[in-house]
Amino acid sequence: MPKTEYDAIVVGSGISGGWAAKELTEKGLRVLLLERGRNVEHIKDYVNATKGPWEYPHRGGRTKSMEELYPVLKRDYPLNEKNLSFWASDKDSPYTEVKRFDWYRGYQVGGRSLTWGRQSYRWSAFDFEANLRDGIATDWPIRYADLAPWYDHVERHAGISGSHEKLPQLPDGQFQPAMPLNCGEELVAGRLGKLFDGRRHIIPGRVANLTRQLPDRLDCQYRNACWLGCPYGAYFSTQSSTLPAAVKTGRLTLRPLSIVSEVLYDRARKRATGVRVLDAVTEQTIDYHAPVIFLCASTLNSTWLLMRSATDVWPDGLGSSSGELGHNLMDHHFRAGAEGKLEGLDDKYYYGRRPNGFYVPRYRNLFGDKREYLRGFGYQGGAGRDGWSRAVAELGVGAQFKDAMSQPGGWDIGATAFAEMLPNHANQVSLDQTKKDKWGLPVLKIDCATGENERLMRRDMINDMAEMLDQCGVKNVEPFDYGSFPGMGIHEMGTARMGRDPKTSVLNAHNQVWDAPNVFVTDGSCMASSACQNPSLTYMAITARAADFAVNELKRNNL
Amino acid sequence: MPSNEVMTERELITRREAVFRVTALLGGVALVGGSALLTACGEQRQANPEGPFTAEDIAFLDEVADTILPATSTPGAKAAQTGAFMAMMVNDGYDARDREIFRKGMRTIDDATQKAHNVSFMKATPQQRLAVLEVIDREQKSYSDARREEQRKKSLAWLSDQRQESAPGANAGAATAVTEKPSAHYFRMMKELALLGYFTSEIGYTQAQRYEESPGRYDPCVPYKPGEKSWAPHA
């Protein structure tokens, strides 16, 4: 291979791409980091971070004109007045839905690491063995032990706060001190611990917010305004954590507004040679070359890019030889659980706005429990006192009413499950040649739905939380199911799964595309199952592991 | 376009707020704005047949809001310019049907004041205004409760289906994707917007409630004495 200006190209600057850039540059590689969206500079570009909440004309809410501009975003909470600039334009980047699929995208430097929910849980040995044990889809080519040291590595740098619980289904990690449960949560956690044979636990959420300072990063100031960007750098994002580390090496080049239209492939050498960039502003194309390519463009975007690449060799794109590229799309289904009122704590309150809640680790289909469905779910929830918004539903006008509503109301507690979705070949994406985006690229067509296993599981998600709250003495327990469509969880996974066999998987155990070993895909598209834990921490660990492997292979001239 | 609207009932939204209190995920305001801010897919924005809100309309809304939330030991809704906020939210966020209900509601309040006290709402005394709005609030409350109960029944029926062993094979979801709902009561809209406008104003944050821009710590359990104000949220 001829000498190139860069040793590696990383496509995408979100959680996975930021980690790839950090690890590769720190190991001595000159890295070109490509991002399709605009640059967002740490702190300087968090334009609303210190605004008073009253300074937004609609106080953060949405308008009809916003809804017209964002027909997808409007389907759930992302459409809002406060951080709209961190969400991609639905108009510029359309896609085709065979069935409803909510695709919430963040096209800027940092990607969705700026707006993510920050819940950070390790997957367990059970999760990496699940496909093999159940005879579902294909076996993961790695086990928990392969990833454990990399979880350690990324947790230390990212800064994850959490409690040590010694639960095999939710391994402990390198934690900063946990953000404590409040008195309502503590009360219910204590009661729950004595029920259900001690198998169900309410623990503090494990969250990528610092409770101790790290170099150049302050600890959380409890503003709970994370998704505006944090002026203290107190939560993990590309900007607060991985990008500065990569920049510090002096070996990073960041190029925003660079849409990668295809991976360049040399059929003689069976290697990728670089990428073709479409400048988002000038619409000119520029080719960049490097011996190592990391695709970290997000689950659907990395697959979309592979589908547009090497089509002269494989009509369905690079990595399609197994017939699995684009297939086995997953998300977590959620928005089902229960809530109720807590009594006896009217003389208790809390101070500070904790950007976190509690977690109930999975207990279904583990340790001898056997349900009529496979896999399981965890819960995320919280307790707190009602604010003024309870006044909308209450009778009253006038002075007394106003003063009463200026004081906190009763306590309530609730939780929604986050549940595993099985990989299914029929849940797939493909190119829609009839529709083009703003830059003339054929858009993705998404055909994905939950199935019978998820439906059966959903009953337990609703009933179990209602039962737990009820048995813990919570009053007026109300089950709920607000409905969940694939994509809504913003945990989209799969479509380029890792595996043991090039005939049934797109990537090998080190995230190399079987058909082009110098192309690594380390974002959510590599996942072979979805578990029920929030996946971002696992993307970080997988990316760091693959980067280490790539550098070693490069040194051995194997790429 | 696929069916894409989970028409979340506004009462359910406040419960969802409770459940998701844990995260900064939900920008608090959209929740309370409620169903009027979520419309069916594809609906076109229509010109307001009644024209824009006039200065008189805004003065009227100021007085409605100030009757709901008058000055006490803290300033009232008028001081927080709640009338202008309400007019803007109706213009920018409501669909045509709800805008019309809201505008008609303004006339209904005036008519009710005339009938009860022989004076326009604007010329009425604060006591007269309060008396009129108390009656309307009770009417609103029973209308809204009945409407909510109907929605709740639908939702629970769906849930009980979902919770049983032999439930039909529905897609995961759509518990609240209910059919066309009866419209909200005009005074519910006004009350909601007045509360939202007031409590999310600078006065509402810093005087009606306690607000600390950067608390700096989290105390998970502190004593609370009756009468102490809420700590204001911030997302």
CA neighbor of B229 nearest in space, from B77, B72, B83: B72
E strand or H helix that includes residue A15: helix A15-26
What tokens appear for A85 in the block?
């600039």
> What is the spatial distance between Cα A423 and Cα A375, in angstroms, rounded to a whole number?
12
Length of chain B measured in residues: 235
Instruction: For residue B36, give how far its alpha carbon lies from the nearest alpha carbon of chain A (Å).
Output: 10
Predicted complex: ipTM over 0.85: yes
Q: Residue A351: which H helix or E strand, with range?
A: strand A348-351
Q: Do A348 and B32 touch (CB under 8 A)?
A: no
Distance (Å, whole) CA A391 – CA A393: 5
**A287 token code pair:** 């080719």
Contacts of B69 in chain A (CB under 8 A): 401-402
Q: Is A397 on the interface with B (CB under 8 A)?
A: yes
Q: Which of B41, B205, B223 sits opposite A54 (nearest CB)?
A: B205
3-state secondary structure at position A333: strand
Measure in Å the smallest separation between the Cα of B190 and chain A Cα atoms. 10
Question: Is A61 in Cβ contact with B29 (below 8 Å)?
Answer: yes
Strands A377-385 and A358-360: antiparallel
- Rounded Cα distance between A158 and A160, Å, is 6
Residue A7 sits at the vertex; the CA angle it makes with A5 and A10, to the nearest 5 degrees, is: 105
Q: What was the pLDDT predicted at B164?
A: 59
Q: A145 phi and psi, to 5 degrees?
A: -60, -30
Block residue for tokens 């190139």:
A4
Which pTM does this prediction carry?
0.93
What is the 8-class DSSP label of residue A532? S
Mutate to test the interface with B, among A46, A55, A80, A353 (most CBs of B within 10 A): A353
| SS3 call for A271 | strand
Is A97 an 8 Å CB contact of chain B? yes
Provide the residue type at A268 as one letter. A
pLDDT at B173: 43
- Block means of pLDDT (10 residues each) for chain B, 235 residues, are 29 40 32 35 50 95 98 98 97 94 97 98 98 98 91 78 51 43 90 97 97 96 98 79
pLDDT lower than 70: segments of chain A: 1-2
The residue in chain A having the minimum alpha-carbon distance to the alpha carbon of residue B163 is A459
Look at A227 and B25 and tell me if their CB atoms are within 8 Å.
Answer: yes
Chain A residues touching B138 at Cβ < 8 A? 395
**Within 13 Å, how many C-alpha atoms sit on residue A492's CB side?**
30
Asked if residues A120 and A534 have their Cβ atoms less than 8 Å apart, the reply is yes
pLDDT of residue B48: 59
Contact between residue A312 and residue A68 where contact means Cβ atoms under 8 Å apart: no
Residue A386: list chain B partners with CB under 8 A.
18
In chain B, domain spans: 3-140+183-208
- Residue A345 C-alpha, separation from nearest chain B C-alpha, in angstroms: 9
DSSP readout, chain B?
---------HHHHHHHHHHGGGSS-S-HHHHHH-GGGS--TTPPP---TT-SPPHHHHHHHHHHHHHHS--SSS--TTTTTHHHHHHHHHHHH--HHHHHHHHHHHHHHHHHHHHHHSS-TTTS-HHHHHHHHHHHHHHHHHHHHHHHHHHHHHHHHHHHHHHSTT-----S--TT--SPPPPPPHHHHHHHHHHHHHHTSHHIIIIISB--S---S-EEEEE--TTPPPBPP--
Query: How many CB pairs lie under 8 A apart between chains A and B?
Result: 324
Residues of chain A contacting residue B15, judged by C-beta atoms under 8 Å apart: 339, 414, 478, 480
Do the beta carbons of residue B137 and residue A396 sit within 8 Å? yes
Three-class secondary structure of residue A310 per DSSP: coil
Distance set, CA B231 to CA A363, B131, B206, B220 (Å): 35, 31, 9, 13
pLDDT digits (tens, 9 = 90+) for A126-174: 999 999 999 999 999 999 999 999 999 999 999 999 999 999 999 999 9
- The CA distance from B4 to A379, in Å, is 25
pLDDT, tens only, B148-187: 888 888 877 877 766 655 444 444 444 444 345 678 999 9
Write down the pLDDT at residue B156: 78
Cβ-contact A162, A180 below 8 angstroms = no
Please count the other Cβ atoms lying within 10 Å of the Cβ belonging to residue B94: 22
In the prediction, which pLDDT does A446 show? Answer: 98
Query: Which chain B residues touch A77 with a CB distance below 8 Å?
Result: 25-27, 30
Residues of B in contact with A65 (CB under 8 A): 45, 92
Separation of alpha carbons A64 and A47, rounded Å: 23
For residue A240, what is the DSSP state? I
Angle in degrees, 0-180, between the axes of helices A144-158 and A536-555, rounded to the nearest 10:
100
Q: How far is residue A223 from each of residues A230, A232, A356, A359, A512, measured CA to CA in Å?
A: 9, 11, 11, 21, 41
d(CA B17, CA A289): 49
End-to-end CA gap in chain A: 10
| pLDDT in the model for residue A4 | 84
Q: Which of A181, A396, A483 sits opposite B174 (nearest CB)?
A: A483
Cross-strand pairs, A512: A520
